[in-house]
Amino acid sequence: MNTDARAVATQIYRIFDIGDVAALDDVLAPELVDHNPIPGTSSGVEGMRLLVAAVRDAFTATRHEVLHLTEAGEGWIVGHWRMTGIHTGQWLGTPATGRPVSFTGTDLMRVVDGKVVELRHVEELFQLHQQITA
């Protein structure tokens, strides 16, 4: 298991790109606290599984480009990324459009012993919404 916080963050972005919900067990602590879970889901690992599956089911050819990744001390990582892909499945009630998408997000992750124990994230969902509904 890789305990380098930057490598753990990078692995999470890769998991989103391949849609491998089982791989989350390698990088998320069982006691994970997600301060921004999907509405109606839990704050922990199961909520993250649902998020990865939702992205996997709604978009193909996803790619997270890491725009900025830095350690902020005490295990905290700040990551800023851009996700590109094609909207090929339902996303938050919007049926597939076949349109390409590109939007950004920022994550704050605290890594302890090689696993994320705390997470705060903000995605530019308005950017995404405009692309799939315009």
Per-residue pLDDT tens over the stretch 109-128: 999 999 999 999 999 999 99
Mean pLDDT of the chain: 94
What CATH number matches the domain at 5-133, 3.30.830.10, 3.40.50.920, 3.10.450.50, 1.10.10.10?
3.10.450.50
The DSSP element (H or E) to which 29 belongs, if any, is strand 28-34
From residue 129, alpha-carbon distances to 44, 57, 97 in Å are 26, 16, 12
Each residue of 15-74: pLDDT tens digit? Answer: 999 999 999 999 999 999 999 998 888 889 999 999 999 999 999 999 999 999 999 999
So what's the pLDDT on residue 3?
Answer: 63
> What's the whole-model pTM score?
0.92
